[in-house]
């Protein structure tokens, strides 16, 4: 034993003896502490090993957040590749009221830039319960620039693409529109929503206790699948022409609405279709169901005389009637018991062709009586009436055809000239297309191709539903329909140099079992060029006020569309000889039709042709021009343009200051001018043949000079 | 008493001499290890909150870094100071601590309805952290002095009870329930090991228990905590129940091996005190069950080694001082771990050497230094001393 040990032993001996005896007390304490530690470790084992899954799940729930990655909605193009609908950047503004501090400044800026009432914004923020409130969805980025400068943790900006329609209201009913969540709610946008929409992806992000997200590299991300692009059969240029002429026609005839459908007879492709009133898909405040309906598909009406072609087709195909067969027109009045059938153009004993040209109800009713029920019914069905055409536009009606076995003779007679049956404009246009293409009923369609990144995914081919009539019957009908235009009720569609085939129709609306004396449908359906039809076009005007005959109301619209389309289209050429004569004299130019174009567009066209113009207004649409389209003038001639500032969203009537008066009765013309607040000066009497505006230098008021005959 | 004086002189003379054994590495290494690892833990646990409050992930960490550095210096300095000096200083230290406890009631800043923090110059600290060790030192001294009369009531037992009561009363006035209970337990344990008469000790513990219950139910927030503790089924809106739930989620999310350093999610503002009283859970999330067991092993090594130090301490003062220190460390570890694992209601008790927390690190380091000095004089390295 060393010295040291002895020394320490000594110390221990003196006072540490009792301590060693009582050391068990410290020992007990340490044991107690160790027991506590063991309990805690057991508890930890329970939490971290045995029960870990439960807490793992809870942790995942509060740590991770699934963030949706939005796909890009597919674009929509017309048949020539013009972009109709696409997506542009936009920003949605939201707030978190729990941390928002600069409420007042933000509300003021929102009122200033976005245009939402300040008080409304404040109410929205103050009444909010959660930590997230939308203030304004899908606003153009420049409108939030000022807001972005405000530093407030409670102000949230979210990038959400907005659907943008390049041509605004043009083709709006066909294209449809999307709702605030970018889902299609009408038109192609609705029908092809799942195709256009694509598939959302998602990204799992980490979240802190305040809900703020942070990307996590180790967590899964599923990329979104962008939507497919659609290529439509429509031609946006034709669509523009159609819509402008339809609007003019509806406004001039003071009708409540109108609809047009243009199809390519050989394929069933829809080239254009529109209804008026229309809406602007870029402006959700114009989303009124009345304006969003494409009446060519969603509305059925009694076709009246336009249906006579179907009766004729059945009778000719079944060889019950030949065009040369003579019929008695009963001088325009056929009494059958209590019912009288009248003709607008009284006829005596005439061949069937003449009766058809003059749209004789009496003679067509006789033809109907000659047709056996079974056969008549077969042709109606074969032409596609009573069934939806299954065109790829939502909301199609099937129309209604009567039951033949329960039909009275008188009903069958009326049926022969288009009463007692409900058809949609597209059904009728499709039936006429069948006549135009030589007898085959096509399936109409609007989407011709689905692509993704310029690769074709699906191509729609024209589809023949059935052969309805023979080639020869179709040719016969073609001649009859051409006769209507050249010699019959459709003379107003006659275009020199372009052969048009078509049929007028005027029908009364059935209102609670009675045919209305004031509510008419005026229609014209036809196709051109008759020898090689490129377009089958149907015009339907609902309740025209000025004049109710299809030949007077609908036919001019048809003619205007045909004329203007012919001047734009490469396929349809009018009057080669006239064009050549203009070419032969280099100083002479044809005046183009400028109506419906913007002033800028009109100026460009005139410039190219070396013509001049000095319009009074620089903005707006050309509504009238002098000299008229088709006139041959010398180069550098000044073309006078009448321009109207036009906005599709405002009430059309208030803009309708200058009605088109040509063709109206003098009384009617004066009433319209009076309503528009324009003074009139009348030369002659009868129908108005021209109208011209002059400034009264003394009063500085516009005076309209009407020449009448 | 003569012998005592001789011994004190003896030990003073031994200061810095080779005859003295050196500190116990088996205590030193785990303590330094815990302090250094606390840097990693605190950085991970505090970064998101620091970024939120100070817009810089490192603000809280750099403060902690400075304290750990100072703590290590303190640890070494105190391990070099002969612990017998505290026999002389015990009474002054104790009275300073009582003065601080009184001072905090007068000058203290009220945070969340309690006056716990005292500001002296640039230092902002909780006097209770200091007071508990001041009491440990003073009681170690008193027990040494009164060993011969310890079984009597008036001379032996009564002085301890009076001081315990005064300290407890002062802490109760803050109020600070958890530290009150812990200090009472430390005092009673020291009396038990210090051979106090069980006839007096047991009734005192009983009365203290009754007082503790009465005190506990005297404040609504404590009732709420207790209620929420027994209602752990869902995350209740009450903050304490929420904290407890979040601590369990952190532990469970960590599983056996943890998510890895810096991969914890619960520190992202889910656990409000993630770098302080709830750092235990964050360690559990990032290092898993295995990591926590290693922490327990580190503490276990300190405790067992301290037992040996106590047993071999050269005198009763060293013995009582060592056990007081070990019991305090162990109690705080156990209570902190119990709170984090949801075994007891949520209460603000730091994890020794690891939790971020002002001067606590310095005080714990100093006390660990004292323990190391006792170890140096306890002759637990006989081979080394034999060479001399």
What is the spatial distance between Cα B255 and Cα A49, in angstroms, rounded to a whole number? 6
pLDDT value, residue B96:
94
**Nearest residue of A to residue B336 by CA position?**
A40
* 8-state DSSP, A263: E
pLDDT value, residue B386:
41
pLDDT value, residue B12:
47
Q: Of A4, A37, A55, which has the smallest distance from its Cβ to B334's Cβ? A: A37
Give me the mean pLDDT over the B262-280 stretch. Answer: 86
The two three-digit tokens of residue A242, written as one number: 């159609």
Determine contact: B266 vs chain A, CB below 8 A. yes
Give me the mean pLDDT over the B199-227 stretch. Answer: 83
3-state secondary structure of A134: strand
What is the spatial distance between Cα A688 and Cα A670, in angstroms, rounded to a whole number? 10
Residue A262 confidence class, pLDDT cut points 50, 70, 90 = very high
pLDDT value, residue A695:
58
Contact of A413 with A336, CB cutoff 8 Å = yes
Question: Spelled out in words, what is the top-level CATH class assigned to the domain A66-232?
Answer: alpha beta
Determine contact: B145 vs chain A, CB below 8 A. no
Q: In this model, does residue B62 exceed pLDDT 70?
A: yes
User: Contact B338/A8, CB-based, under 8 Å?
Assistant: no
Q: B59 to chain A, minimum CA–CA distance in Å?
A: 19
Contact of A297 with A393, CB cutoff 8 Å = yes
Residue A476 confidence class, pLDDT cut points 50, 70, 90 = very high
The two beta strands, A229-232 and A76-77, are: parallel
User: Contact A48/B343, CB-based, under 8 Å?
Assistant: no
Q: Of B195, B254, B299, which has the smallest distance from its Cβ to A22's Cβ? A: B195
Q: A91 to chain B, minimum CA–CA distance in Å?
A: 27
Q: Which residue has the higher pLDDT, A7 or A251?
A: A251
pLDDT value, residue B19:
42
- Other Cβ atoms closer than 10 A to A204: 19
State which fold the A588-644 domain adopts: Trypsin Inhibitor V; Chain A (3.30.10)
Residue B349 confidence class, pLDDT cut points 50, 70, 90 = confident
For A324, residues 6+ apart whose C-beta sits below 8 A from its C-beta are A351, A352, A353
pLDDT value, residue A426:
95
Q: Where does residue A331 fall: left (phi above 0), alpha (psi -120 to 50 degrees), or beta otherwise?
A: left
**Nearest residue of B to residue A64 by CA position?**
B265
pLDDT value, residue A470:
94
What is the spatial distance between Cα B350 and Cα B357, in angstroms, rounded to a whole number? 8
Q: In this model, does residue A466 exceed pLDDT 90?
A: yes
Give me the mean pLDDT over the A272-291 stretch. Answer: 86
Q: Of A5, A23, A48, which has the smallest distance from its Cβ to B252's Cβ? A: A48
Give the mutation candidate from A44, A46, A206, A208 for the B interface (greatest B CB count, under 10 A).
A44
Residues of A with CB under 8 A from a CB of B: 2, 4-5, 8, 11, 14-16, 18-20, 22-23, 25-27, 29-30, 33-34, 36-37, 39-41, 43-45, 47-49, 51-52, 54-56, 58-59, 62-63, 206-210
Q: Which residue has the higher pLDDT, B156 or B122?
A: B156
pLDDT value, residue A674:
61
Distance of CA A567 to the CA centre of its chain: 25
Q: Counting Cβ atoms within 10 Å, is residue A476 exposed (0-12), middle (13-18) or buried (19+)? A: buried
Q: In this model, does residue B378 exceed pLDDT 90?
A: no
What is the spatial distance between Cα B278 and Cα B237, in angstroms, rounded to a whole number? 19
User: Contact A59/B341, CB-based, under 8 Å?
Assistant: no
Question: Spelled out in words, what is the top-level CATH class assigned to the domain A236-283+299-583?
Answer: alpha beta
Contact of A106 with A155, CB cutoff 8 Å = yes
What DSSP letter does each residue of B373-386 carry, written as one string? Answer: HHHHTTT--HHHHH
pLDDT tens-place string over residues A365-397: 999 999 998 889 999 999 999 999 999 999 899
Q: In this model, does residue B17 exceed pLDDT 70?
A: no
Candidates B19, B20, B13, B32; CA nearest to B298 is B32
Give me the mean pLDDT over the A205-209 stretch. Answer: 80
Candidates A474, A473, A476, A501; CA nearest to A486 is A501
Contact of A399 with A421, CB cutoff 8 Å = yes
Candidates B89, B72, B65, B29; CA nearest to B364 is B72
User: Contact A206/B268, CB-based, under 8 Å?
Assistant: yes
What is the spatial distance between Cα B4 and Cα B159, in angstroms, rounded to a whole number? 22
User: Contact A4/B386, CB-based, under 8 Å?
Assistant: yes
| Chain A partners within 8 Å of B289 (Cβ) | 44-45, 48-49
| Chain A partners within 8 Å of B256 (Cβ) | 48-49, 52
pLDDT value, residue A675:
58
Q: In this model, does residue A654 exceed pLDDT 50?
A: no
Q: In this model, does residue A646 exceed pLDDT 60?
A: no
Q: Which helix (H) or strand (E) holds A553?
A: helix A550-568
Contact of A415 with A203, CB cutoff 8 Å = no
- 3-state DSSP percent of chain B in helix, strand and coil, to 5: 70, 5, 25
* 8-state DSSP, A612: B
Give me the mean pLDDT over the B59-83 stretch. Answer: 92
Residue A652 confidence class, pLDDT cut points 50, 70, 90 = very low
| Chain B partners within 8 Å of A19 (Cβ) | 316, 319
Write out residues 82-111 of B within 8 Å (CB-CB) of A: none
**Do A588-644 and A646-709 agree at the fold level?**
yes
Determine contact: B386 vs chain A, CB below 8 A. yes
Rounded mean pLDDT of chain B? Answer: 85
Contact of A594 with A622, CB cutoff 8 Å = yes
Give the mutation candidate from A48, A51, A204, A212 for the B interface (greatest B CB count, under 10 A).
A48
Q: Phi and psi for A630 in degrees, rounded to 5?
A: 95, -15
Distance of CA B153 to the CA centre of its chain: 29
Residue B7 confidence class, pLDDT cut points 50, 70, 90 = low
**Bridge-partner residues for A347, per DSSP?**
none
Give first-to-last CA distance, chain B, whole Å: 30
Q: B214 to chain A, minimum CA–CA distance in Å?
A: 25
Determine contact: B334 vs chain A, CB below 8 A. yes
* 8-state DSSP, A223: P
Q: In this model, does residue B250 exceed pLDDT 60?
A: yes
Strand ranges in A239-351 using DSSP code E only, listed in sequence order? 257-263, 270-276, 326-328, 333-336, 339-342, 349-351
In the block, which residue shows the tokens 């946006």? A236
pLDDT value, residue B366:
94
3-state secondary structure of A420: coil
The two three-digit tokens of residue A181, written as one number: 């969540």
> Which pTM does this prediction carry?
0.62
Buried b (16+ CB within 10 A) or exposed e, A378-387: bbbebbbbbe
Domain coordinates in residue numbering, chain B: 34-80+225-380, 87-218
**Nearest residue of B to residue A208 by CA position?**
B268
Q: Of B189, B341, B386, which has the smallest distance from its Cβ to A47's Cβ? A: B341
Q: Which residue has the higher pLDDT, A209 or B149?
A: B149
Give me the mean pLDDT over the A430-440 stretch. Answer: 94
Domain coordinates in residue numbering, chain A: 3-50, 66-232, 236-283+299-583, 588-644, 646-709
Residue B68 confidence class, pLDDT cut points 50, 70, 90 = very high
User: Contact A55/B288, CB-based, under 8 Å?
Assistant: no
User: Contact B252/A44, CB-based, under 8 Å?
Assistant: no
Note the CATH number of domain A646-709: 3.30.10
Q: How many CA atoms lie less than 13 Å away from A49 in the CB half-sphere?
A: 13
Residue A585 confidence class, pLDDT cut points 50, 70, 90 = low
User: Contact B270/A8, CB-based, under 8 Å?
Assistant: no
Q: Of B265, B382, B388, which has the smallest distance from its Cβ to A206's Cβ? A: B265
pLDDT value, residue A100:
81
Give me the mean pLDDT over the A114-137 stretch. Answer: 82
pLDDT tens-place string over residues A395-426: 899 998 888 887 788 888 888 899 889 999 99
| Chain B partners within 8 Å of A22 (Cβ) | 193, 195
Q: Which helix (H) or strand (E) holds A508?
A: strand A501-511
Q: Which residue has the higher pLDDT, A571 or A59?
A: A59
């Amino acid at each position: 034993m060393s010295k040291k040990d002895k020394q320490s032993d000594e110390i221990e001996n003196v006072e540490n003896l009792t301590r060693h005896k009582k050391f068990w007390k410290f020992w007990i304490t340490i044991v107690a502490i160790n027991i506590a530690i063991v309990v805690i470790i057991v508890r930890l084992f329970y939490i971290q090993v045995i029960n870990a899954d439960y807490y793992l799940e809870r942790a995942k729930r509060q740590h991770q957040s699934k963030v949706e990655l939005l796909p890009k909605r597919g674009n929509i193009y017309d048949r020539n590749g013009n972009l109709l609908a696409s997506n542009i950047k936009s920003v949605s503004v939201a707030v978190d009221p729990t941390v928002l501090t600069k409420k007042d400044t933000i509300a003021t800026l929102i009122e200033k830039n976005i245009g939402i009432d300040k008080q409304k914004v404040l109410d929205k923020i103050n009444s909010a319960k959660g930590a997230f409130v939308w203030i304004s969805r899908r606003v153009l980025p420049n409108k939030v620039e000022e807001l972005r400068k405000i530093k407030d943790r409670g102000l949230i900006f979210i990038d959400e693409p907005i659907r943008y329609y390049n041509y605004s209201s043009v083709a709006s009913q066909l294209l449809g529109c999307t709702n605030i969540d970018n889902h299609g709610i009408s038109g192609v946008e609705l029908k092809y929503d799942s195709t256009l929409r694509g598939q959302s992806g998602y990204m799992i992000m980490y979240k802190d206790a305040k809900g703020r997200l942070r990307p996590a590299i180790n967590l899964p991300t599923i990329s979104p699948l962008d939507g497919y692009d659609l290529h439509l059969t429509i031609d946006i240029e034709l669509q523009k022409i159609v819509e402008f002429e339809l609007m003019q026609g509806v406004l001039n005839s003071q009708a409540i609405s109108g609809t047009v459908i243009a199809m390519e007879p050989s394929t069933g492709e829809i080239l254009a279709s529109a209804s008026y009133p229309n809406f602007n898909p870029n402006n959700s405040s114009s989303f009124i169901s009345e304006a969003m309906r494409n009446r060519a598909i969603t509305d059925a009406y009694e076709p009246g005389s336009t249906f006579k072609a179907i009766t004729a087709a059945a009778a000719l195909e079944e060889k019950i009637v030949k065009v040369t067969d003579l019929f008695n027109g009963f001088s325009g009045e056929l009494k059958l018991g209590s019912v009288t059938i009248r003709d607008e153009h009284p006829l005596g004993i005439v061949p069937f062709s003449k009766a058809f040209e003059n749209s004789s109800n009496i003679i067509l009713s006789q033809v109907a009586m000659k047709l056996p029920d079974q056969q008549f019914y077969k042709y109606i069905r074969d032409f596609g009436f009573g069934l939806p055409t299954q065109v790829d536009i939502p909301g199609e009606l099937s129309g209604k055809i009567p039951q033949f076995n329960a039909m009275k003779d008188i009903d069958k007679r009326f049926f022969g000239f288009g009463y007692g049956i409900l058809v949609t404009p597209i059904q009728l246009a499709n039936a006429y297309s069948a006549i135009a293409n030589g007898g085959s009923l096509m399936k109409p369609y609007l989407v011709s191709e689905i692509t993704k990144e310029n690769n074709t995914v699906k191509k729609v081919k024209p589809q023949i539903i059935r052969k309805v009539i023979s080639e020869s019957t179709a040719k016969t009908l073609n001649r009859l329909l051409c006769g209507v235009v050249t010699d019959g009720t459709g003379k107003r569609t006659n275009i020199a140099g372009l052969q048009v085939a078509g049929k007028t129709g005027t029908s009364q609306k059935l209102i609670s079992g009675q045919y209305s004396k004031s509510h008419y449908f005026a229609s014209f359906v036809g196709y051109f060029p008759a020898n090689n039809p490129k377009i089958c076009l149907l015009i339907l005007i609902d309740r025209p006020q000025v004049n109710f005959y299809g030949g007077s109301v609908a036919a001019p619209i048809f003619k205007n569309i045909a004329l203007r389309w012919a001047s734009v289209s490469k396929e349809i050429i009018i009057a080669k000889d006239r064009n050549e004569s203009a070419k032969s004299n280099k100083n002479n130019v044809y005046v183009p039709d400028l109506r419906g174009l913007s002033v800028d567009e009109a100026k460009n066209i005139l410039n190219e042709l070396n013509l001049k113009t000095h319009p009074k207004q620089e903005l707006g649409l050309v509504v009238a021009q002098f000299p008229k389209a088709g006139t041959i003038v010398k180069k550098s001639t000044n073309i006078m343009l009448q321009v109207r500032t036009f906005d599709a969203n405002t009430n059309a009537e208030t803009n309708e200051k200058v009605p088109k008066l040509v063709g109206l009765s003098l009384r009617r013309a004066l009433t319209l001018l009076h309503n528009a607040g324009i003074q009139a000066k009348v030369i002659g009497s009868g129908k108005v043949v021209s109208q011209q505006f002059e400034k009264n230098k003394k009063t500085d008021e516009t005076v309209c000079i009407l020449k009448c005959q | 008493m003569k012998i005592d004086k001789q011994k004190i002189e003896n030990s003073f003379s031994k200061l810095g001499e080779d005859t003295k054994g050196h500190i116990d590495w088996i205590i030193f290494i785990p303590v330094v290890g815990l302090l250094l690892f606390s840097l990693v833990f605190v950085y991970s646990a505090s970064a998101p909150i620091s970024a939120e409050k100070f817009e810089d992930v490192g603000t809280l960490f750099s403060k902690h870094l400075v304290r750990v550095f100072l703590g290590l210096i303190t640890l070494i300095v105190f391990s070099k100071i002969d612990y017998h000096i505290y026999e002389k200083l015990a009474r002054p230290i104790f009275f300073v601590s009582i003065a601080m406890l009184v001072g905090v009631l007068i000058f203290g800043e009220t945070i969340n309805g309690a006056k716990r923090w005292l500001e002296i110059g640039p230092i902002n600290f909780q006097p209770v952290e200091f007071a508990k060790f001041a009491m440990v030192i003073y009681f170690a001294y008193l027990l040494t002095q009164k060993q011969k009369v310890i079984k009597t009531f008036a001379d032996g037992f009564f002085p301890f009870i009076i001081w315990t009561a005064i300290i407890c009363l002062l802490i109760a006035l803050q109020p600070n329930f958890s530290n009150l209970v812990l200090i009472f337990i430390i005092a009673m344990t020291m009396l038990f090991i210090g051979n106090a008469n069980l006839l007096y000790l047991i009734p005192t513990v009983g009365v203290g228990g009754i007082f503790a219950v009465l005190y506990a139910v005297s404040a609504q927030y404590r009732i709420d905590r207790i209620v929420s503790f027994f209602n752990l089924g869902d995350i209740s809106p009450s903050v304490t129940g929420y904290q407890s739930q979040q601590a369990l989620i952190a532990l469970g999310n960590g599983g056996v091996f943890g998510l890895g350093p810096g991969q914890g999610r619960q520190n992202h503002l889910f656990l409000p005190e993630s770098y302080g009283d709830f750092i235990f859970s964050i360690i559990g999330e990032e290092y898993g069950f295995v990591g926590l067991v290693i922490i327990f092993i580190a503490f276990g090594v300190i405790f067992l080694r301290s037992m040996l130090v106590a047993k071999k301490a050269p005198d009763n003062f060293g013995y009582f001082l060592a056990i007081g220190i070990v019991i305090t460390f162990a109690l705080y570890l156990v209570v902190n771990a119990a709170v984090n694992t949801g075994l007891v209601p949520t209460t603000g008790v730091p994890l020794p050497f690891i939790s971020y927390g002002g001067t606590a690190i310095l005080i714990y380091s100093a006390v660990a230094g004292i323990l190391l000095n006792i170890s140096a004089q306890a002759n637990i390295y006989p081979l080394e001393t034999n060479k001399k």
